[in-house]
Structure 1
């Protein structure tokens, strides 16, 4: 058995946007794909490679776990870890730039872990697991053979009805259950929209800064992203009109702009709706955490102002319940229901019926509304405690933006500190953070950290984490 040398791992770049575990993963996968590492070759142990590279062992193990999950390597106990013996790889096409492969691989954007400050996670410790377990057991006991066949591709009727009722009451959206399409997440919702209403070559307005996976999705679907700047009133619609007045669609986060958390002002909401009505364009409203506003009542959805049927409203259960449930929903204009039904029949497989039934029961019995109210109060408290704890330790190094809502804090770095470099160091030390510059097109923007506060239970916890963070600055 040939033993691969650690020189297979080319030097790591601490200034790169990718964390070290991703760089190691990319390099080992590239060595396997190029034939430098052959099937059956043994790779260095996590302990040995961690020592040689001066990294935490957990970093190497994370990279190895990704490679094993994708079938590139296998653990053989005392025999070590080897490249999968029967691995069959296609020969690379001449002239192909392998960098494109890593770009595809990064569309997952966030790790499947629970780290301090990890973005995208609700307060997992405060989820009503006992109620959830009781409802789950009841749903399982009630399951009959008709519930075990293929699920409805547009969503379980009971859940579609509960979502429509909830949106009418809480978000001011007048819609029927037939307009609600249950999806497996934001990406699935965007795929349905693209297949139903858009085509390759279309231009789409995106907020700048804005959610990075949206840019990647459009790129993979061969559409052109048009970055539109954001200020204190949200997307600057006038800039979009100058850059691409005939764009086919706009993707916006009007409740809490992602990531700056500002709200789209009423004049700009009306200007955006007027543009869509005049040009026959579409507006995708991504209301990912619109329930969480702490200085006043949650703002009405942009969709509630839509009189011309140009807004598609995308909501999710990931931020209110938990990401692992993989359920979201899309509200389409009434005139487009038939079209989306056709597209769903062709491209959607339907979400698990048991999960949908459980969420429907959770909503029908009032647990959902009570959970949202509790979380709104809890998040306001944790936001204040986390901000106070961070400021007490990091005060001279950062400035924390005042924000009316959302689930994360924005820490503006003082001086000439690189947010990407700091994020890379945080990941190495078991902390999570995202660099604001990664949310800008071209990576050009002010340096800042995006830190989630929903799982920080006290000011004391925040201060302890801040002391770890200050050592990395």
Structure 2
């Protein structure tokens, strides 16, 4: 049956000045509806009260009489009345009956919204406003998305075997919470890898496994600086790192970057008392500069004199195409004032969500305690499988293959840009990384090109997006690792048409 009006006659009064039919015509229940009948009655009576159809202070008929009028059981009506009483729409008076409340909940809400002494609803703090303004660059499957690895060339068969070995070896132990510092075999595998590969000589007890490099920045900010303290950040630099530092209550100080890396002299002038410096010395993000030895020594000298700590994000240090990989700043420091951060998301695949932090020996226990307090351990099975993958030959072989592949794809991108966008977008090859920065003609706004490109499947980002200070650049950050030469060629043709349209529109 469908809806039908509830009929009956009220001889007991209490309905206000209008006859009962004027109200009952508005009341109908769905006998076979999804919502229980008691809830339907409560909702319809509530609507009548809010609309003024039931006057404030009016007495309702007894539940037995109301049930007869509505042709439902008394239990159902009692349940509806109980709902409305609990919500504050009805009030029971001992020995007298049930009445519409003289002051409905909506009355109180209305007064609060129209002034008086009521406080406004939740508002963002100053720090919350800054955090809400940040919009991290998302890793998608779009062409030219920065940081996206070659998923088409990932050794899935080897990864499946690593998962199977981890399950056999770990068994039900993988169903428990892991050591909050990370799965011990994985920490040992990381320590064994970063020593010879990146010059980061460390013990497994210095390694903490995390979900992301951003989490490492947040942990370091919370542990090594107090709210309000100033910290150096690269300008332009990685927005996720900046937002993580703000989330820790710190004040990022943009320090300019040039071809030699972060300008230490400028940092000394801008914030000599900074407690922390977040840098990407092996391949500056996004510009790609490799910090010179002179700058590295100057940065370490400043940190020692200022009592500061350096957070080194080595996000893609494995991918260097000319000569040996650059030794990490941590190795030059000797494990004193540098925290080293590495990530597997770019080396392996983004959904892995595993990174790590290597702390100096004197900070290792404090970092482990801070990690324990964070209560955000990555899944034990994923860690165990990665330990199997890194400890064997599959990991190093994969990196070697990707170096060759990424170098070829970078060459394809540079050649295509010079063919189709020469003079408008200037890009130079790099000896490292998974992306290139193309400098745009000043007449073509990078954000306009990116917005138009997103509508046709291109995922590059605007260089101005990475500005931490008042002088944004004008260019495009173009990832090349995830797509083959044919896709890159077609993407650059598409990009050339977009740039032409943007130029014409501005002209």
For Structure 1 versus Structure 2, the TM-score category normalised by the shorter chain is 0.7 to 0.9
1:23-422 aligned within 5 A: 93=120, 96=123, 104=131, 107=134, 109-307=136-334, 309-422=336-449
Taking the aligned partners of 2:481 and 2:330, their CA distance within structure 1 comes to 27
TM-score, with normalisation over the residues of structure 2?
Answer: 0.72
How much does 1:104 deviate? 3.9
Task: Answer with 1 or 2: which has the greater Rg.
Answer: 2
**Is contact 1:210–1:258 with CA below 8 Å preserved after alignment?**
yes
| TM-aligned CA distance change 1:307 to 1:101, over 3 Å | closer
Is the counterpart of residue 467 in structure 1 residue 467 in structure 2?
A: no
Over residues 419-468 of structure 1, what are the superposed CA-to-partner deviations in whole Å (9 max), with x where a residue is unaligned? 0111111111111111111111246233100010002211x332211121
Taking the aligned partners of 1:95 and 1:144, their CA distance within structure 2 comes to 47
Structure 2 gaps of 5+ residues are 1-112, 114-118, 500-507
Taking the aligned partners of 2:379 and 2:135, their CA distance within structure 1 comes to 21
Over residues 377-417 of structure 1, what are the superposed CA-to-partner deviations in whole Å (9 max), with x where a residue is unaligned? 11111110121122211113211033221111111112411
Taking the aligned partners of 2:377 and 2:219, their CA distance within structure 1 comes to 12
Taking the aligned partners of 1:103 and 1:454, their CA distance within structure 2 comes to 32
**Is contact 2:140–2:459 with CA below 8 Å preserved after alignment?**
no
SS at match of 1:261: coil
Taking the aligned partners of 2:189 and 2:437, their CA distance within structure 1 comes to 34
How much does 1:222 deviate? 1.9
Over residues 226-266 of structure 1, what are the superposed CA-to-partner deviations in whole Å (9 max), with x where a residue is unaligned? 11111110001000111111110100000000001010000
Over residues 83-133 of structure 1, what are the superposed CA-to-partner deviations in whole Å (9 max), with x where a residue is unaligned? xxxxxxxx9946947998786456561335301111121111110011111
Alpha-carbon RMSD: 2.1
**Is contact 1:205–1:228 with CA below 8 Å preserved after alignment?**
yes
Stretch of structure 1 that moved more, 208-217 or 249-258 = 208-217
**Is contact 1:179–1:334 with CA below 8 Å preserved after alignment?**
yes
| TM-aligned CA distance change 1:102 to 1:455, over 3 Å | farther
Taking the aligned partners of 2:415 and 2:186, their CA distance within structure 1 comes to 40
Stretch of structure 1 that moved more, 251-260 or 443-452 = 443-452
**Is contact 1:401–1:412 with CA below 8 Å preserved after alignment?**
no
Stretch of structure 1 that moved more, 437-446 or 353-362 = 437-446
Count of equivalent residues: 382
SS at match of 2:498: coil
Is the counterpart of residue 454 in structure 1 residue 481 in structure 2?
A: yes
SS at match of 2:177: coil
How much does 1:312 deviate? 0.2
**Is contact 2:210–2:216 with CA below 8 Å preserved after alignment?**
yes
| TM-aligned CA distance change 1:322 to 1:395, over 3 Å | same
| TM-aligned CA distance change 1:121 to 1:112, over 3 Å | closer
> Using CA pairs below 8 Å that are at least 6 residues apart, which structure has the higher relative contact order?
1
Structure 1 gaps of 5+ residues are 1-90
